[in-house]
Amino acid sequence: MKKKKIILITLFLCAFIATAAAAFQKGQVQALETHMENQYQRAFHEMTFQMDLLHDEIGSTLAMNGGRTLTPALTEVWRLTSMIHSDIGQLPLGILPFSEMEKFLMKIGEFSYRTSVRDLSSEPLTGEEYDKLKQLYSQSADIQTELRNIQERILNEELSWLDLEELMATGDAQAQPVVDGFAKVDGTVKGYASETFAPTEQETASMRRKQLQHLSGSEITEQEALKIAESFSETALDQAEVSKSMKGSPYPFLTVREPEENFSMDLSLKGGYPLYLIKDREINNTSLSLNEAATEAEAFLKKNKLNDLKLDQAQQTDHSASFTFVKYLEDENVWVLDDSVYLKVALDNGEVLGFTGFDYWAGYGEIDIPEPSLSEDEALSLLHSDYKNGETRMTLIRNEFDEHVLCFEFTGVSNDETYRIYINAETGQEEKVEKL
């Protein structure tokens, strides 16, 4: 009798502990889920709120006409676009078509930044810029309304972002109202960007370069690709396979692969230009100095007829050396920093294990060097008095607005740190400062 009682009590206790533990665990999972859901909700509601602010702020820039008040308002527009951008990045929209919206925001941001850093009292908004702002005002109103609609649905139907996330991860979120809402916003915005911000010449040029359409030459066959790869890399590729790029690539290319050698190389279909080369192997000792390896790298470039490149940077790491070569225009004495080639050399025998040519080919052939209107001393006088200059070069760089500008590149020391400062050789504008 007593025994039975003890057994019963033990059983009861066991059952009780198990249920309690399960309940506790479930509570924990639930707490975590709520926590995540709250974070998503915060990001979303903050985004819609900031979209409201953005609309109002663009509106107030329209009402102003003086430079002094306009600059802070435009800066505020710029700040809001970057806040919204950051909120979007925190939402589980990974596979939702929302990229047009983000591109549009970036454009607004860029526009407001450009105008806000300008001295608006001496150079006020042009009529064209004013029209752009008006257009943005009405467009942001549309986006705002759409986002408010989504927000209302989320609140009214108590939709959870966590459920949404799960649906989206599997990709069957077709008939989901929120997904549709976002798709609609994105679709609306798609037209806006091209309507308001006609692509500039720079942008179209950079697009064209991205597609490597300016490269000339006839299409190469797989056999020819293999031959070029062998002579370029000085590697015997007996087991190599050649494959063509897939349909979605903006520029067609051929890939030569030799798994035995861990070798892989891409060549443009048109003209067979080497885009990149990789050869991975163990390097166990260092018998060449960095300087000797640089000589090997130079010889490699010369052998492959890449003659207008000059060594810009060298770095030794465990048994290998990396080099950046930059296009150097001898007649003008100008370094074109964008058109660069990267090489990796093994320090045991000087073999070239890596090559990247895309940037070089992308910029190939279209260089227009303006005449500097400043002398080196004039440019130097624009720098801070504490700065002690060490080296000067003439360089062609891309500034923050993606424009090619001719600059004096000054490398020197300020407060025990080395800085590189780019001064526009035509306008004297400080284009870029890098801490090295």
CB 412, min distance to another protein, A? 8
Please list, residue by residue across 350-389, b when 16 or more beta carbons sit within 10 angstroms of its beta carbon and e when fewer do: bbbbbbbbbbbbbbbeeeebeebebeeeebbeebeeeeeb
Nearest residue to 141 (alpha-carbon basis) of 46, 78, 51, 62 = 51
Interface of this chain with another protein, residues 340 to 359, rule: CB under 8 A: 340, 342, 344, 354, 356, 358-359
CB 425, min distance to another protein, A? 22
CB 280, min distance to another protein, A? 4
Pairing of strands 388-398, 334-346: parallel
Q: Is 327 in the site for another protein (CB under 8 A)?
A: no
Q: Contact, 107 vs 193, CB < 8 A?
A: yes
Pairing of strands 253-258, 241-244: antiparallel
Q: Is 290 in the site for another protein (CB under 8 A)?
A: yes
Q: Is 304 in the site for another protein (CB under 8 A)?
A: no
Q: Is 286 in the site for another protein (CB under 8 A)?
A: yes
CB 18, min distance to another protein, A? 27
Considering only the stretches 3-11, 21-29, 54-62, 239-247, report the one whose residues sit in contact with another protein under the rule CB under 8 A: 239-247
Give 273: exposed, middle or buried? Use CB within 10 Å, 0-12, 13-18, 19+: buried
Q: Is 262 in the site for another protein (CB under 8 A)?
A: yes
**x/- track of binding to another protein for residues 369-398 (CB under 8 A):** ---------------------x--------
What amino acid is encoded at 307 in this protein? N
- Written as six digits, the tokens of 101 are 């919206």
Q: In the complex with another protein, which residue's Cβ is closer, 70 or 361?
A: 361
Q: Is 260 in the site for another protein (CB under 8 A)?
A: no
**What is the spatial distance between Cα 436 and Cα 434, in angstroms, rounded to a whole number?**
6
Q: Is 255 in the site for another protein (CB under 8 A)?
A: yes
Q: How far is CA 402 from CA 43, 81, 85, 427, in A?
A: 31, 19, 20, 16
DSSP E strands in 318-387: the ranges are: 320-329, 334-346, 352-356
Write phi, then psi, for 117 (nearest 5 degrees): -80, -10
Q: In the complex with another protein, which residue's Cβ is closer, 73 or 215?
A: 215
Residues constituting the chain: 436
Interface of this chain with another protein, residues 163 to 202, rule: CB under 8 A: 165, 168-172
Q: In the complex with another protein, which residue's Cβ is closer, 278 or 382?
A: 278
Q: How far is CA 208 from CA 48, 214, 420, in A?
A: 36, 7, 30
Q: Is 414 in the site for another protein (CB under 8 A)?
A: no
CB 69, min distance to another protein, A? 29
Q: In the complex with another protein, which residue's Cβ is closer, 45 or 134?
A: 45
Residue 350's region, left for phi above 0, alpha for psi from -120 to 50, else beta, is left
Q: Is 292 in the site for another protein (CB under 8 A)?
A: yes
| Position among 313, 349, 381, 427 found at the interface with another protein (CB under 8 A) | 313
Count of residues touching another protein (by CB under 8 A): 66
Q: Is 235 in the site for another protein (CB under 8 A)?
A: no
Q: Contact, 347 vs 316, CB < 8 A?
A: yes
Interacting residues with another protein (CB under 8 A): 40, 85-86, 89-95, 98-99, 102-103, 106, 165, 168-172, 210, 243, 245-251, 253, 255, 259, 262, 264, 266, 275-276, 278, 280, 286, 289-292, 294, 313-317, 321-322, 324, 340, 342, 344, 354, 356, 358-359, 390, 413, 418, 434, 436
